Amino acid sequence: MQPFIYNGLASRVIFGFGTLGQLPAEIDRLGLKRVIVLATPQQQREAQKTAAGLDGRAAGVFAEAAMHTPVEITERALEQVTESRADGVVAIGGGSTTGLAKAIALRSDLPQIVVPTTYAGSEMTPILGETKEGLKTTIRSEKVLPETVIYDVDLTLTLPAGLTATSGLNAIAHAVEALYAQDRNPIISMMAEEGIASLARALPRLMENPRDSDARSDALYGAWLCGTCLGAVGMALHHKLCHTLGGSFDLPHAETHTVVLPHAAAYNAKAAPDAMKRIARALSARSAPLGLYRLAKLLRAPTALRDIGMPADGIGKAVDIALQNPYWNPAPIERGAIHGLIERAWHGDLPQAS
């Protein structure tokens, strides 16, 4: 056994069916009196319904959360937080809404309760990615770690098939990188392999029957594990590329992770053989990169950056940005190899080692 350091993060998790009903009691447990409920415009009705059920505990609804957490939206949300005298935030939705809650907490230190409705996993991390003037930056601070996460499987039963697939593959990406992170450890590695396997079993079933409650439960469990992995160890090339592409070209977050993941895994395959064995085993595949690519194909998820809005003439710009302040990575970061990776991802080619 190699020496390691493991830091557990203090976040309370409530998991099950119908657990949204515990939200009022959780607000009281945290000593909060007036919470503001956050959502995207698409989930405004759900947020308003939730706020109405809080029996006077709601200070209002802010339903402008957006991908990549634009700073200007955070500033508008903070104005409403101040005007309503809110003493906490409740985020209902996916990564966009969770990101807004974290951005508010970073600036105000208000407690957060997050109710995920996708498999993004960011609710389990002390990581915040924000976008300003076309550039996305990330910070790691326990100030942005939610105090409570309520996983309600019932809220995922109507998640569309396309979002189910890409959101689940986004979660898998967190665990893949955790397996070859610089600060990996045996606890997180076990959780990562289990998270990948749970999602890989559940997602194909959900493509056939989106309301399969057992598969939904397995997928949400896997997403929790994968998110926990992301929160506990560092990120590498895959996340750097996705932050670069998403922030610079306004690409959809989960879809970007879906497309890039097999190629990033291939880039690191020779430098991280043990991680690749674990990933392949979790996927029941011979090759980790090909297994990830074929899973995306099986789920009818996008496999080419050009299909999710990235312009061909943006490849060079993406390479330049990705090489600025690179994250630690098991394989050396080399311009030509990174260019080849992004170009293959743009075309949707099979992943190959650089």
Kindly report, residue by residue over 265-280, the tens digit of the pLDDT.
999 999 999 999 999 9
For residues 266 and 271, give the distance between their C-alpha atoms in angstroms, rounded to a whole number.
10
Return the pLDDT at 83. Answer: 96
The overall average pLDDT reported for the chain is 95
Return the pLDDT at 30. Answer: 97
Q: Topology of 12-156 in CATH?
A: Rossmann fold (3.40.50)
Task: Establish whether domains 12-156 and 161-347 are of one fold.
Answer: no
Return the pLDDT at 247. Answer: 84
- Residue 262 scores a pLDDT above 90: yes
Domain boundaries along the sequence of the chain: 12-156, 161-347
* Better-predicted residue by pLDDT, 74 or 121: 74
Task: Using a pLDDT cut of 90, give the percent of the chain over it.
Answer: 86
C-alpha distances (whole Å) from 118 to each of 152, 167, 234 are: 10, 6, 22
- Residue 223 scores a pLDDT above 90: yes
For residues 156 and 153, give the distance between their C-alpha atoms in angstroms, rounded to a whole number.
5
Kindly report, residue by residue over 158-209, the tens digit of the pLDDT.
999 999 999 999 999 999 999 999 999 999 999 999 999 999 999 999 999 9
Return the pLDDT at 8. Answer: 73
Region of residue 132 (phi > 0: left; psi between -120 and 50: alpha; otherwise: beta): beta
H helix runs in 180-309, sequence order = 186-208, 213-232, 237-249, 253-268, 273-283, 288-298
Q: Topology of 161-347 in CATH?
A: Dehydroquinate synthase-like, alpha domain (1.20.1090)
For residues 140 and 127, give the distance between their C-alpha atoms in angstroms, rounded to a whole number.
5
H helix runs in 57-160, sequence order = 71-84, 95-108
Return the pLDDT at 1. Answer: 59
Task: Using a pLDDT cut of 70, give the percent of the chain over it.
Answer: 99
